[in-house]
């Protein structure tokens, strides 16, 4: 089938914090320069990696590790990291997974209760038809259960998110350090005859030598990406979000020790 790719490079609404244009895309082969292009594909298959997530249990990130380990012979990765050669899984919107182990899920609170709360329209009580942040209408979204003031509730949310955001940045910096150290060692190994073929660096030989490090990069990046792509900055389950991020830090540091 033929499908049209996509790109944010030409989208003026996609800016960095300092106002500069974002110029990256998740899949570079979907664009030609700054323009989206038509591509041919056998089809795009959505994967829901829930085989190890048992019904009634809260989700844990190790369930994704187990799932992707089992299917690696069929599906190895979403992409190969350009600098390290690690086989990377790209996490996409795992909101329900993280939420499943949080306090709201444990108390039977659904997505609709917070993100589409009841409002009054004349004499009728109806759910909002716009899915949005509960912070936009704390009175409707939160105070049906929580009796504290709106300012107090907002402060609680922001406190949780700030804490998780700190862990997120720590994990990202740790992973970047691992990436740069791995890239440096790959370059050094590529100059050794043992890791060359026909006088040139052999990526496969180098990746095999760094197999354990690349596996740690894969799993660390999966965890940091999970929390980042989940979009609540950890609020749906702050304990699990921070657990994942601190695991990512440990894995990145462990990877660095294996490079020595």
The per-residue pLDDT string of the chain (260 residues; one tens digit each, 9 = 90 and over) reads: 555 555 566 677 777 778 887 765 555 556 666 666 666 766 656 667 888 999 989 999 999 999 999 999 888 999 999 999 999 999 999 999 999 999 999 999 999 999 999 888 888 888 888 888 999 999 999 998 999 999 999 999 999 999 999 999 999 999 999 999 999 999 999 999 999 999 999 999 999 999 999 999 999 999 999 999 999 999 999 999 999 999 999 999 999 999 99
Q: Is residue 85 one of the residues assigned to a domain?
A: yes
Using the CB atoms, write b or e for 196-211: b if 16+ within 10 Å.
Answer: eeeeeeeeebbbebbe
User: What phi and psi values does residue 92 have, to the nearest 5 degrees?
Assistant: -125, 115
**Coil, helix or strand at residue 205:** helix
Measured in whole angstroms, how far is the alpha carbon of residue 90 from the centre of its chain?
A: 7
> 234 Cβ partners below 8 Å, 6+ apart?
98, 160, 161, 163, 164, 165, 167, 168, 227, 241, 242
Contact between 116 and 127 (Cβ < 8 Å): yes
Radius of gyration of the chain (CA): 22
Q: What residue numbers bound the domain in which 124 lies?
A: 110-144
How do strand 79-80 and strand 87-88 relate by DSSP bridges? antiparallel
**pLDDT confidence of residue 242:** 98
**pLDDT confidence of residue 257:** 98
132 with 233, same domain: the answer is: no
Rounded to whole angstroms, the maximal C-alpha distance in the chain is 80
96 with 201, same domain: the answer is: yes
Question: Global pTM?
Answer: 0.83
Q: Which of 197, 191, 209, 212 is nearest to 256 (CA)?
A: 212
180 with 254, same domain: the answer is: yes
130 with 162, same domain: the answer is: no
225 with 139, same domain: the answer is: no
- Total of domains in the chain: 2
78 with 188, same domain: the answer is: yes
Q: Is residue 40 one of the residues assigned to a domain?
A: no
Helix, strand, coil shares, percent, the chain, to 5: 50, 10, 40
């Amino acid at each position: 089938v033929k499908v049209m790719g996509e790109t944010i490079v030409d989208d003026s609404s996609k800016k960095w914090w300092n106002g500069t244009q974002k110029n990256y895309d998740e899949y570079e082969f979907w664009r030609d320069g700054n323009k989206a292009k038509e591509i041919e594909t056998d089809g795009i298959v959505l994967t829901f990696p829930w085989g190890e997530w048992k019904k009634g249990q809260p989700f844990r990130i190790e369930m994704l590790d187990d799932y992707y380990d089992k299917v690696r012979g069929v599906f190895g990765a979403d992409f190969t990291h350009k600098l390290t050669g690690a086989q990377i899984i790209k996490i996409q919107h795992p909101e329900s997974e993280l939420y499943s182990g949080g306090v709201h899920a444990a108390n039977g609170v659904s997505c609709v209760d917070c993100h589409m709360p009841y409002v009054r329209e004349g004499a009728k009580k109806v759910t909002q038809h716009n899915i949005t942040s509960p912070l936009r209408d704390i009175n409707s979204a939160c105070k049906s259960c929580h009796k504290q003031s709106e300012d107090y509730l907002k402060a609680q949310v922001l406190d949780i998110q700030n804490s998780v955001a700190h862990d997120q940045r720590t994990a990202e910096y740790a992973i970047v350090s691992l990436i740069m150290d791995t890239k440096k060692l790959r370059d050094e190994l590529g100059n050794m005859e043992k890791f060359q073929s026909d006088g040139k660096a052999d990526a496969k030989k180098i990746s095999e030598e760094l197999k354990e490090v690349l596996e740690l990069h894969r799993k660390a990046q999966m965890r940091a990406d999970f929390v980042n792509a989940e979009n609540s900055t950890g609020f749906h389950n702050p304990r699990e979000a921070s657990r994942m991020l601190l695991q990512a830090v440990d894995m990145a540091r462990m990877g660095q020790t294996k490079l020595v």
